[in-house]
């Protein structure tokens, strides 16, 4: 009469066999599994430190600054003051008005 194996024995035997088969995996499979693991881990999407909405935010900020700057009174630099002085001086204004005449004189050598 054939010996009937119980379900528990079968499970135990199966587990034993499979654990044994795992322990005896050859080197090439272990290397293959290691490569697969590393490849998978490297593919993990890295969340960026910069939030996704930061691009839109940056654009809005730039637009805001541009608009705001448009209403800003210009900073008065030395160069601007010089130009202003030149415009205000009557003689200079006259010089600018007659610039073509003075250029003509210069060409003729009569200015010196």
Partner 1 sequence: MNNIEINEQALEVFFKAIEKRAFRIAEFAISDRDEALDLIQNSMLKLVQRYADRDENEWTLLFYRILQNEIKDWKRKAWVRGWFGFIDSETEWIEDKSVQACPDRLVHQDAISSAMHTAIKQLPWRQQQAFLLRSWEGLNVKQTAKVMTCTTGSVKTHYSRAVTFLRKQLAEGEL
Q: Residue numbers of the site for partner 1 (CB under 8 A)?
A: 2-5, 7, 10-11, 13-18, 20-22, 24-26, 29-30, 32-33, 35-37, 39-41, 43-47
What is d(CA 46, CA 85) in angstroms, rounded to the nearest whole number? 60
Q: Which SS3 state, helix, strand or coil, does residue 4 take?
A: coil
Q: Judged by CB, which is closer to partner 1: 2, or 108? A: 2
The CB-of-22 to partner 1 minimum distance in angstroms stands at 4
User: What is the total residue count of the chain?
Assistant: 112
CA-to-CA distance for 99 and 92, rounded, in angstroms?
Answer: 10
Residue 82 backbone dihedrals phi, psi, to 5 degrees: -65, -45
Least distance in angstroms from the C-beta of 43 to partner 1? 6
The smaller minimum CB distance to partner 1, of residues 28 and 73, is found at 28
Least separation, in Å, of the C-beta of 63 and partner 1?
34
Q: What is the DSSP letter of 44?
A: S
Of 19 and 85, CB closest to partner 1: 19
């Amino acid at each position: 009469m054939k010996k009937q194996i119980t379900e528990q024995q079968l499970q135990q035997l199966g587990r034993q066999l499979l654990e044994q088969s795992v322990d005896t995996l050859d080197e090439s499979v272990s290397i293959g599994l290691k490569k697969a693991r590393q490849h998978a881990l490297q593919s993990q999407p890295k969340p960026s430190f910069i939030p996704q909405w930061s691009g839109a935010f940056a654009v809005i900020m730039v637009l805001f600054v541009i608009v705001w700057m448009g209403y800003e009174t210009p900073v008065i630099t030395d160069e601007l003051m010089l130009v202003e002085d030149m415009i205000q001086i009557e003689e200079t204004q006259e010089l600018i008005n007659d610039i073509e005449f003075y250029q003509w004189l210069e060409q003729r050598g009569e200015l010196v």
